[in-house]
Structure 1
Amino acid sequence: MSIQAVIFDIGNVLIEWQPERFYDSVIGAARRKKMFAEVDLHGMNERVDLGENFRDTVMAQADATPQWHDEIVMWHDRWIEMAAPAMDHSVRLLRALRRANVPVFALSNFGIQTFAIGEREYPFLEEFDRRYISGHMGITKPSADIYKQVEDDCGLPPQSLLFADDRADNIAAADARGWQTHLFETPQKWADRLVAEGLLSPENAQ
């Protein structure tokens, strides 16, 4: 079936998401590794992605682990430094698809408040035809229901959706529903896939 919409994940597809890199630069790799071993920071972040309040969730974790209090607070106060920089080639692909009149959606695990911060920093996050943000939906990838909600809302057949995500588990869940998928590794490989599908010309995929 021909592709009727292209769906982008955001973290590590359009914006680099590298908390470990941020902490390495601030407290050093050794202390970062110790902190991440002692505190489930990604689990904390998943609760935010499910819709819990960003500040309240981070501060509660900081209070619960006083030995890392100040470092955990950075997750809130300096979050935008972890979600940076934008991946410029991917952003160009998003815009090229829209110029080619290809509907473009976002499907991302993202908190309500963190997405609002992202919108202020990255205006291209407002350029999608439809946005499916986990915090607002109350469910995260790779749960099957989040993909079903996308299908139900957009009204397009699963086989007509082309989805790019950097996580293999998210791709596998989309595959199981019959979506066309692309495991994102680099913007150039994604560009090559869009050209191969006839959605963009080589010139427009630069």
Structure 2
Amino acid sequence: MYKNSQFEEKDADKVLAFMKAHSFITLIGHDGEFPVVTQIPVHIYQDENGIRLVGHIMKKTDHHQAYAKNENVMALFTGAHSYVSASVYENPAVASTWNYSSVQCKGKIKLMNADETRAVIKHLTDSFEDPKSSPAAFHKMDDVYIENNLKAIVGFEIKVESINNVFKLSQNHSYQNRTNIAKDLAKSDNPDAQEVAKQMKKML
């Protein structure tokens, strides 16, 4: 990760809020020869024991086999990002750059048993489907269907051991440059550029 104290968010609550807002993560492991990667939604929990990431993956995949072999993993949370043109700087004859926000969590993954996995799927489904009204609610699914599908997946829990972040929003530039950048990005048709502009304006 690119480390620069100017771009590091020191407020742990803001970092956690970012993680919760971008909880479709890239989960990275290592099979002993190569990195393995998958994209997966997670629920994020914090208590007196720290932060835990909970989700599920398909069995018999390269990442499942890697996580079973090597418990050390990294969860990557990514937010909005955008090209920043130096043409709007007070002195435009310099290099352009890219603004972005990212959090990396390192920790150890534990694969769950069948009952634990079922609980993870129920919680995930109930988080997005109204248990009272949705025809796709967990309790409205056929039990045989649920059991057959549970055979193909496994739940996991990651105990986070370290968190690093980069919130690169032109903090190393003058107030005028940051104002110019935010105005320029806000005019873009790109939703990511507009989001970066919003984040920058909050810091002005």
Question: What TM-score results when the alignment is normalised by the length of structure 2?
Answer: 0.24
Pair member with larger Rg: 2
- Structure holding more helix per residue: 1
Question: What TM-score results when the alignment is normalised by the length of structure 1?
Answer: 0.23
- Structure holding more strand per residue: 2
